[in-house]
């Protein structure tokens, strides 16, 4: 067995007056993470509470959310140092960051030696257009820690092609930092995360932001973090390895067996990973987007 321990930090946003308060909030959560956890994940837009640190933040509009980019260096240094100190791989949620004349929703992954990789969100949720965010164009899988991992930020879980590409590139665990403003939004991502796990026979870790940063933009997060598996005899029958309470500021931890994924792909009751490839010649008869969608 190749067991991997994962901790998801379901961080509850609150108004923050300076970066030190944010760092204290993050450290308080990560101190609840077992030392033996291999991976630690934080939610999407984890720095959003820092908007309240700017003058006249009560007058901000949606387009002002990108102001948190000014904290990029502090944010990266905080999580880099935590990864080094704790000797754990940290998926540091995501953060709005300026690159030249554009802003991106970027997830950073920090290795135990402080080195990092980044993933720019490739499909922005329609509401994100108001935040001036641009889309990334790369999907990669990384050998960081004891497994091969991919990143799908929130809405990317709702795009099946993302997880399929990651799984074909070797992803064994897909980490999904997420931030949804409604219960309906949460369930869209959660149900899609479970579907992606079943379709591709991978583990999927859904870590949502909850709470309210108290900014003028409607941004109260709703969610319940979970570590998900395929639904088969070798896994929990409902596919839920573990999950958090709704909207709590809490940490959940679960252990998954990577080797079991490969066994399940070959001999499970459902062998969707290979079966989706086995009939590609049939799929080729039906090119995607062949018929225009009528409005």
The set of catalytic residues is: 44, 121, 154
Give the pair of three-digit tokens for residue 102. Answer: 């554009």
Distances (CA, A) of 77 to 8, 23, 150, 172, 203: 20, 10, 22, 28, 29
d(CA 178, CA 185): 10
CB 84 within 8 A of CB 111: no
Distances (CA, A) of 229 to 86, 262, 290: 27, 13, 33
Question: For the chain, first and last CA: distance in Å?
Answer: 51
> Where do we find the tokens 């018929």?
291
d(CA 35, CA 280): 44
């Amino acid at each position: 067995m190749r067991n991997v321990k994962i901790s998801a930090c379901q961080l509850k946003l609150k108004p923050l007056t300076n970066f030190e308060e944010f760092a204290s909030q993050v450290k308080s959560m990560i101190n609840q993470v077992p030392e033996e956890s291999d991976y630690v994940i934080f939610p999407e837009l984890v720095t959003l509470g820092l908007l309240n640190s700017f003058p006249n933040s009560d007058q901000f509009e949606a387009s002002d959310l990108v102001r948190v980019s000014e904290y990029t260096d502090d944010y990266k240094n905080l999580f880099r140092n935590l990864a080094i100190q704790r000797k754990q791989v940290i998926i540091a949620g995501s953060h709005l960051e300026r690159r030249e004349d554009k802003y991106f929703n970027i997830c950073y992954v920090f290795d135990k030696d402080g080195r990092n990789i980044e993933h720019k969100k490739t499909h922005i949720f329609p509401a994100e257009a108001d935040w001036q965010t641009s889309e990334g164009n790369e999907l990669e899988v990384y050998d960081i820690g004891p497994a091969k991992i991919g990143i799908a930020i929130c809405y990317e879980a709702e795009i099946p092609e993302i997880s399929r590409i990651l799984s074909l590139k070797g992803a064994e665990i897909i980490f999904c930092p997420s931030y949804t403003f409604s219960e309906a939004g949460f369930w869209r991502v959660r149900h899609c995360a479970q579907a992606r796990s079943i379709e591709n026979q991978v583990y999927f870790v859904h870590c949502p932001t909850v709470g309210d940063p108290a900014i003028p933009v409607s941004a109260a997060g709703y969610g319940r973090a979970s570590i998900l598996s395929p639904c088969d005899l070798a896994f929990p029958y409902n596919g839920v390895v573990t999950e958090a309470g709704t909207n709590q500021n809490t940490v959940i931890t679960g252990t998954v067996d990577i080797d079991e994924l490969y066994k399940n792909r070959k001999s499970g009751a459902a062998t969707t990973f290979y079966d989706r490839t086995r009939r590609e010649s049939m799929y080729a008869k039906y090119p995607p987007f062949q018929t225009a969608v009528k409005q």
